[in-house]
A and B are shown apart, each in its own frame.
Chain A
Amino acid sequence: MDIFKEEGVDFIVNLPEDSTANLTDKIRSDNHFTFVTVTNEDQGIAFAAGASLTGKKPVFITGIGLLVGAWALSMMRIVYNTPLVLLIAYRGTIGDRSASYVPAPYLDLFGQVAEPLLQALKIPYLQVGKVADLKRSISDAIFTSVEQQTPVGILLSGEVLW
């Protein structure tokens, strides 16, 4: 949250998932942020894109739901070049200990297709597994999204989540 504030981020869109629930619960209760809960991820990416186009630096927080957002994401990347940061819980990657909440095959699904999806849509992304790297990674993602006018993904894993 402090990193978001330092980077001028005050607009967060989310459909809750358990891996990021601690973070989103804190953001929701902090008046610094406009926090919007949407009803599906495609809507969430479109909503965040609208905020971006009118002057905000929005962050969309998601996980497996990234797959639902592929339609809006492809439009905002390939047709409209819209700056946007996606904070993505990298479910199913090595070390994911959340299988007690989500069936392991679902995690395996996301683990297999998350990066190929981002690559297919030409979304620049990076992976962050260490807390010490988080600040620099978020800062870099925001910079690149604005500089290159594109959505940028941050795949969260390792000690950042589990």
Chain B
Amino acid sequence: MVKRLDCLKILLDKIDDKTITVTALTGVASEWDDLRGAHLNFCDLDMGLCTPVASGMACAQPKMRVISLDSDGSLLLDIGILVTLGKLKLKNLIIIVFDNEAYGRFGPTATEGTNLLENIGKASGIARARTVRTVEDFEVAISEALKEWELSIIVVKIEKYWIRQSEEHRARVGRFIKKDFVDSMKKVLASQNLANV
């Protein structure tokens, strides 16, 4: 089974410092925050908000790559965002869903034993939607998605495990994450002369 952290390490090696990342809450937020740090990293959004916020960023800044690091439970809460994205077809947005098929320790999600999120994505008009079950397949999928500028969903079936968030991450949650994100965004926009924050 795939460990989420192994995928995140692969992702970190493949993105540049102009890439915006947005994460869902708890485990993925802490692991990614500890790996990437504060730069262009808006992390720990609560249930249902990760991909919608990432989509707004991608729509607002079409010249910048945006990656949503979502979870199955979070995406299911606002599965309608895939319908919205099927219409918008934002070329600069990649959605990676770490699908452990569970609401934490508290029971299965509707994705258990299925390719549900991939299928809903495709039915919503997102052609580049796929499910992967090995780290090797994830590396191929993310490499291809980063190469092509096309709206993509990669659903990664991962091991069920839970971590305690690091103290460094917990100290940033909320307004510090927002301030660090906006500050780094201003610097990138100024250097690229894209817009004013």
Contact = CB atoms under 8 A, between A and B. Distances in A.
A43 B78 contact: yes
Contact of B60 (A46, A54, A79): A54
A75 B181 contact: no
B81 interface: yes
Contacts of B120: none
A49 B58 CA distance: 12
A51 B175 contact: no
What class of interface size applies to chain B in its complex with A?
A: 35 or more
A53 B57 contact: yes
B80 A54 contact: no
B61 A54 contact: yes
Interface stretch (B41-49, B126-134, B141-149, B153-161): B41-49
Interface string B169-197: 00000110110011001000100001111
Interface in B71-116: 78, 80-81, 83-84, 87-88
Interface residues of A, number: 29
Contacts of A40: 78, 80
B48 A55 contact: no
B48 A71 contact: yes
A4 interface: no
Interface string A47-60: 11111111110100
B56 A47 contact: yes
B62 to A, nearest CB: 9
B46 to A, nearest CB: 6
A139 interface: no
Contact of B52 (A34, A43, A52, A53): A43
B26 to A, nearest CB: 15
